Structure 1
Amino acid sequence: MLDQSPARTLLSVRDLSVIADLESGPRTILDRVSFDLQPRQILAVIGESGSGKTVLARALASWLAPPLRVSGGEVLFEGRNLVDDPAYARRLAGREIAYVGGNPAGALDPTMTVGTQLVEKLRAVRPEVSAAEARDKAIRLLQAVHIPSAARRFHEYPFQYSGGMMQRAMIVDALISDPALLIADNITQPLDVTVAAQILKLMRELNAEFSTAILFICSTLPVACEASDRVIVLNKGRVVESQTPAELVARPAHAYTRALIDELPTLWQGGPDPRHERPKAERKAIMSVRDVSKAYETQGKSGRALVQAVRRVDFDVFAGDNFGVVGESGCGKSSLMRLLTGLERPDAGQILFEGEDVGAGSAKRLRALRRRFQLVLQDPYGSLPPQSSIGAILEEPLKIHRIGDRSERRERARAVMSEVGLAPSLYEKLPVGLSAGQRQRLNVARAMILEPTLLIMDETLSALDQTEQGKLLDLFERLQAQHGFTYIFISHDLTMVRRVCSRIAVMYLGETVEVAPNDRLFFDPGHPYTRALLSAAPTLEERRYRPEDCLMEGEPPSPIDLPPGCAFASRCPDAFDRCRVENPRLFSRGGHALAACFLNPDPFDPTEEEVIHD
């Protein structure tokens, strides 16, 4: 690492401008951006989609590609202008200036072990380091980022890492060359709240231990404030504000910053929300999940093994309701989604949609059922066929179900575009020109066009910034009021779930460990894992649950080799001997609230069916 002194500036950006050379003419992406970054400082950059955050990150890492180019200004690293010396800038990339992106899944070669790739990276940038030295350093860094059993994990392949572990492995990949500057571009946005909290804590530790300056790009203001020493706010390519986190929240100087703060959803502010309670007379189950389990066979070192993905899950979703499913990566949310939509069949139990067993019928019958329930996926880019026009994408479900003639399908497609806020002029266009928010509106329109009674949203908003999320949540509320949809929200974003869901199930290692009405879950959770999730949720509010009391370290146990007793016991601050030998069933807490924890006083009586299914 370059010799550093706290008194001097490591990175000085002066009037940096970037343009995109388009057929229609040059378009400004960054407009005279200026800031300084000191050694050991963490500087956050916040702004909505399109503000120029990622372009800024790539410009500093010398990764701009046509049609983007720097049109003016300076990037001074240790006093040397990288804009005027691209060869020097390329030599620094990966050595003194490291970059970590927000999509770790495709960042490593799946055919090589993680450790091999880390060693190759270090020896490529530091040829004087021996293979043994590189291996020892890689394992030390894997330990430093809190990857359990680092020496063993060193020899594992990327597919054997969870999403949170992969993100930490990518931080190791960036740090292994001892960079002076780490550029972290939206590294917490795809992660669930507990893993994201661990990553933020880790960044602070690494910043102090390795003296690395960090430029932290993010889309959520609470995360930016929690992670950094200073925050700069980007709006339409310009820096509109630069303050410490405390000053920014207490006294925002720019109207755009005030708008970002005002639009933040809250977790506890204002107390319980009466909108989350529905009269008992309205309760009619539209989907019932009855003791559902699903395991997947995998090939391990010692032969075949079973991954227990979903275990004895049981809940009802009521007509007109918004039912949330939350939990960490690997808790079984996506596997449950595949079962709910009939993409896979459960090994045990039933999933009843309007009284019909989703997993028991023929393919023809399932197709008919799917007309009445639809899935909206997470990825706004990979979920749309790039070569089909927007009109063709919308008309396809109508063709599959043989609904209407060509004119009627076109009319229905245009009508649903209008409902979700897509301009009619986009009908013949390809989705390539749409923003992430517009793409998700298109996905919602594609699901709506069959007029279903149930929409299943699988992390539908997780790829969007807080501004776009707010717009889509407003859209969902309006559509539900108009059409009476029932929603299932599968998400790791507790602020979104708090805003829109009336009842919520919390999953951990394939099980439902808590099911409760919205206000009960947020103000009086019955399971230590739920409290840990709430303590980790990014917010500007005063927390009801302190991370130091609730937040667990490390990874969940392996779903292949589950421990005896409660699966959460190894991470639970309140666990006692009984927890390690006996797995608790759901305990009734009254008021339609359940929690699988021995700390609750009254065990659930299975004859009291209304406790779960009322």
Structure 2
Amino acid sequence: MQENLLLEVRDLAVNFHTDDGVVEAVKGLSFHLEKGETLAIVGESGSGKSVSALSLMGLLPKPAARIVGGQALFRRKSGEVLDLLRAEEATMRRIRGNEMAMIFQEPMTSLNPVYTVGDQIAEAIVLHQGKGRKEARQLAIEMLNLVEIPNPHKRVDDYPHQMSGGMRQRVMIAMALSCNPSLLIADEPTTALDVIIQAQILELMKKLQAEIGTAVLFITHDLGVVAEMADRVVVMQHGLKVEEADVYTLFKAPKEAYTQRLLAAVPRIDQEKPAPPERATPPVLVRLENLRVWFPLRAGVLSRVVGHVKAVDDVSLEVYKGEVLGLVGESGSGKTTLGRSLLRLIEPTGGRIWFSGQEITHLPKEALRAFRRRMQIIFQDPYASLNPRMTVGDIIAEPLVIHRVGSPKERQERVAELLETVQLSPDHARRYPHEFSGGQRQRIGIARALALNPEFIVADECVSALDVSIRAEIIALLKELRARMGLTLLFISHDLAVVEDISDRVAVMYKGRLVEVSSSHRIYREPKDEYTKALLSAIPIPDPTVKRERIPWNPEAYSAARQKGA
């Protein structure tokens, strides 16, 4: 093993033993990582990225997962070279958190909810550095300050649920770096974060890496993040390494067809697009007037209302017939609440909702049912929204049964037609949701939404959980269905690049209020609101040669300026 190498993986092979037989999750993977370098491993779900990382950490689920071959040579701080795949568990316990550390995708499942964040950071310091509790607590405060958490001497006593998603991810980074590890494995550390928070976390990781000198193994399917973070890239597919190159070569001249498809599927906001031709304004299909959805905050023995969470606050908006209106904003901005209240899945606190010229704000359930046929929703997580005990055919046919449309034979024919419409086989009607991939499940959700030939669909983050190529397929399918069936879509997403690709107009929400509404072309090229400008500047560009100037975001100053302007 060469002196400049920190990690050298040779022919790693991992199998999973299941009831259906042996699954080869990783097949002869080889790569190396130099000291202080960032290597990205990219690929779609099921490619073996995370399994490879867990193998190095000795965290594979046992007894199902078994390492059946290969070496993972790691140069320890002492200079000793250790094969991580054959190290004893006691040795791995001394290495994990000390010389190697890992940041997981979802911090809330990685942080213990019954311990303060300070105690959890201090735990690794006490265990690996032999410090006392008092000194470890002080070092934990210093780590929170290092990852730029405000008031670290106070937040050190917070529990994970008292922090936002971005703050929890900063805590995870603080824990991982608390013992100055030589190797940091970051497994999709920004996938669940909003674009501004993601940009802040990536900048923080680059800054800390430069200061501490840690090598980073960055696992992701986001090629924009790869372009921004990586020195070299390994591309995986079905457990195999299909390509490896430095980041500039890979993005400029990818050799393998799979890599080319991945790059081609990424929407780009940095490329010039011609302005759409001017058209007459179509009639309004949906209109919101001063819509409010406030959730009461209760306290005390008598549960008195002491305030409100203003999820949607005085929103007026029009959706034109046949258009795709993108609705963007960070988590907590009120996007989903607005979409669901528009369909009366959440009852509004105030304001008025009009659909096709008729007010539906206070329609009773029986009268509203007729409108349900004309308004549908596609949910974010297709696995959670599909009943696992029903066949796909029954799931798609359920709206037809509820609304008493057609005979059993006609419903069966309609299900077959819908499956073909979303590019699945009619034979799939007999299967269950767990037998399908994430992208296929989302197609099933779309088929169910189309069952009653609706005029209007709310698509709520319907591609956010999908891999880049599957996401591109679903977007292409929605475009085709819109053109063929004349659908009107409210497309809710925090992925601004995807929104530009599909939307005619874009509405931007911040803390329950609309801050900007304009054509997609104009809003991406001439944004007026400071929040919109910050959102757009934070989008990672899938090109390592493009360096965009990021607009600093100060939510307190922005909110104060809006209140003053109001």
The normalised TM-score by structure 2 is: 0.90
Distance 1:425 1:273 in 2: 43
**Other-structure match for 1:28:** 24
Q: Is residue 227–residue 541 contact of structure 2 (8 Å, CA) maintained in 1?
A: no
CA deviations 1:13-53 (Å, max 9, x no partner) are: 11111223345543322221111112322111111223221
Are 2:474 and 1:472 equivalent residues in the alignment? yes
Equivalent of residue 504 in structure 1, options 500, 503, 506: 506
Equivalent positions of 1:102-251 (< 5 A) are 102-120=105-123, 122-123=125-126, 125-126=127-128, 128-251=130-253
**Other-structure match for 1:574:** none
- Report the 3-state secondary structure (helix = DSSP H, G, I; strand = E; otherwise coil) of the residue aligned with 2:564: coil
Equivalent of residue 434 in structure 2, options 425, 432, 435: 432
**Other-structure match for 1:69:** 66
Are 2:564 and 1:582 equivalent residues in the alignment? yes
CA deviations 1:506-545 (Å, max 9, x no partner) are: 1122211110001111111111221211111122369999
**Other-structure match for 1:519:** 521
**Other-structure match for 1:603:** none
CA deviations 1:310-360 (Å, max 9, x no partner) are: 222221111110000111222222222232232222222222222344431
Distance 1:154 1:319 in 2: 52
| Alignment size in residue pairs | 555
Distance 2:135 2:391 in 1: 54
- Report the 3-state secondary structure (helix = DSSP H, G, I; strand = E; otherwise coil) of the residue aligned with 2:259: helix
**Other-structure match for 2:44:** 48
Amino acid at match of 1:50: G
- Report the 3-state secondary structure (helix = DSSP H, G, I; strand = E; otherwise coil) of the residue aligned with 1:323: strand
Q: Is residue 270–residue 541 contact of structure 2 (8 Å, CA) maintained in 1?
A: no
Q: Judging changes above 3 Å, is the alpha-carbon distance between structure 1 residues 449 and 201 closer, same or farther for their aligned structure 2 residues? A: same
**Other-structure match for 2:484:** 482
Amino acid at match of 1:61: M
**Other-structure match for 2:280:** 280
**Other-structure match for 1:591:** none
Distance 1:264 1:355 in 2: 39
Distance 1:460 1:333 in 2: 13
Distance 2:66 2:319 in 1: 51
Distance 1:140 1:304 in 2: 36
Amino acid at match of 2:117: V
Amino acid at match of 2:55: A
- Report the 3-state secondary structure (helix = DSSP H, G, I; strand = E; otherwise coil) of the residue aligned with 2:388: coil
CA deviations 1:425-484 (Å, max 9, x no partner) are: 322222112211111111111211122111111111111121111011111111112211
Distance 1:154 1:359 in 2: 46
**Other-structure match for 2:421:** 419
Distance 2:155 2:315 in 1: 31
Q: Is residue 57–residue 84 contact of structure 2 (8 Å, CA) maintained in 1?
A: no
Distance 1:413 1:240 in 2: 39
Structure 2 gaps, min length 5: 76-80
Q: Is residue 223–residue 263 contact of structure 2 (8 Å, CA) maintained in 1?
A: yes
Equivalent positions of 1:297-376 (< 5 A) are 297-298=296-297, 304-376=306-378
Distance 1:245 1:290 in 2: 49
CA deviations 1:535-568 (Å, max 9, x no partner) are: 11122369999434x2326xx34xxxxx8xx51x
Distance 1:386 1:175 in 2: 41
Distance 1:427 1:528 in 2: 48
- Report the 3-state secondary structure (helix = DSSP H, G, I; strand = E; otherwise coil) of the residue aligned with 1:249: helix
**Other-structure match for 2:288:** 289
Are 2:553 and 1:552 equivalent residues in the alignment? yes
- TM-superposed CA distance for 1:110, in Å, is 4.0
Amino acid at match of 2:294: A
Aligned-residue identity in percent: 39
- Report the 3-state secondary structure (helix = DSSP H, G, I; strand = E; otherwise coil) of the residue aligned with 1:167: helix
- TM-superposed CA distance for 1:288, in Å, is 1.0
Equivalent positions of 1:435-446 (< 5 A) are 435-446=437-448
Distance 2:32 2:545 in 1: 32
Amino acid at match of 1:346: P
**Other-structure match for 2:383:** 381
- TM-superposed CA distance for 1:86, in Å, is 4.7
- TM-superposed CA distance for 1:103, in Å, is 2.3
**Other-structure match for 1:98:** 101
Amino acid at match of 1:51: S
- TM-superposed CA distance for 1:375, in Å, is 1.5
Q: Judging changes above 3 Å, is the alpha-carbon distance between structure 1 residues 360 and 122 closer, same or farther for their aligned structure 2 residues? A: farther
Amino acid at match of 1:92: I
- TM-superposed CA distance for 1:109, in Å, is 4.0
**Other-structure match for 1:606:** none
- Report the 3-state secondary structure (helix = DSSP H, G, I; strand = E; otherwise coil) of the residue aligned with 1:547: coil
**Other-structure match for 1:451:** 453
Amino acid at match of 2:175: D
CA deviations 1:54-78 (Å, max 9, x no partner) are: 2222222222225332221111222
Distance 1:297 1:154 in 2: 29
Q: Judging changes above 3 Å, is the alpha-carbon distance between structure 1 residues 84 and 469 closer, same or farther for their aligned structure 2 residues? A: same
Distance 1:158 1:384 in 2: 30
Moved more, 470-479 or 428-437: 428-437
**Other-structure match for 2:259:** 257
Distance 1:115 1:251 in 2: 46
Distance 1:385 1:101 in 2: 29
Moved more, 247-256 or 310-319: 247-256
Q: Is residue 294–residue 348 contact of structure 1 (8 Å, CA) maintained in 2?
A: yes
**Which runs of at least 4 in structure 1 moved beyond 6 Å after TM superposition?**
300-303, 542-545
Q: Judging changes above 3 Å, is the alpha-carbon distance between structure 1 residues 481 and 61 closer, same or farther for their aligned structure 2 residues? A: same
Amino acid at match of 2:290: D
Q: Is residue 13–residue 27 contact of structure 2 (8 Å, CA) maintained in 1?
A: yes
Distance 2:123 2:373 in 1: 51
The normalised TM-score by structure 1 is: 0.84
Q: Judging changes above 3 Å, is the alpha-carbon distance between structure 1 residues 151 and 393 closer, same or farther for their aligned structure 2 residues? A: farther
- Report the 3-state secondary structure (helix = DSSP H, G, I; strand = E; otherwise coil) of the residue aligned with 2:316: strand
Moved more, 30-39 or 129-138: 129-138
CA deviations 1:269-320 (Å, max 9, x no partner) are: 233342xx56215x11111121222332335899933323222222111111
- TM-superposed CA distance for 1:486, in Å, is 0.8
**Other-structure match for 1:576:** none
- TM-superposed CA distance for 1:188, in Å, is 1.7
- Report the 3-state secondary structure (helix = DSSP H, G, I; strand = E; otherwise coil) of the residue aligned with 1:324: strand
- Report the 3-state secondary structure (helix = DSSP H, G, I; strand = E; otherwise coil) of the residue aligned with 1:381: helix
Q: Is residue 381–residue 462 contact of structure 2 (8 Å, CA) maintained in 1?
A: yes
Amino acid at match of 1:552: W
Distance 2:162 2:346 in 1: 22
Structure 1 gaps, min length 5: 1-5, 558-562, 570-578, 585-614
Distance 1:500 1:202 in 2: 32
Q: Judging changes above 3 Å, is the alpha-carbon distance between structure 1 residues 389 and 121 closer, same or farther for their aligned structure 2 residues? A: farther
Distance 1:355 1:122 in 2: 64
- Report the 3-state secondary structure (helix = DSSP H, G, I; strand = E; otherwise coil) of the residue aligned with 1:33: strand
Distance 1:297 1:335 in 2: 15
- TM-superposed CA distance for 1:214, in Å, is 1.4
Q: Is residue 268–residue 522 contact of structure 1 (8 Å, CA) maintained in 2?
A: no
CA deviations 1:553-595 (Å, max 9, x no partner) are: 6xx34xxxxx8xx51x5xxxxxxxxx376234xxxxxxxxxxx
Q: Is residue 378–residue 459 contact of structure 2 (8 Å, CA) maintained in 1?
A: yes
- Report the 3-state secondary structure (helix = DSSP H, G, I; strand = E; otherwise coil) of the residue aligned with 1:248: helix
- Report the 3-state secondary structure (helix = DSSP H, G, I; strand = E; otherwise coil) of the residue aligned with 1:64: coil
- Report the 3-state secondary structure (helix = DSSP H, G, I; strand = E; otherwise coil) of the residue aligned with 1:552: coil
- Report the 3-state secondary structure (helix = DSSP H, G, I; strand = E; otherwise coil) of the residue aligned with 2:5: coil
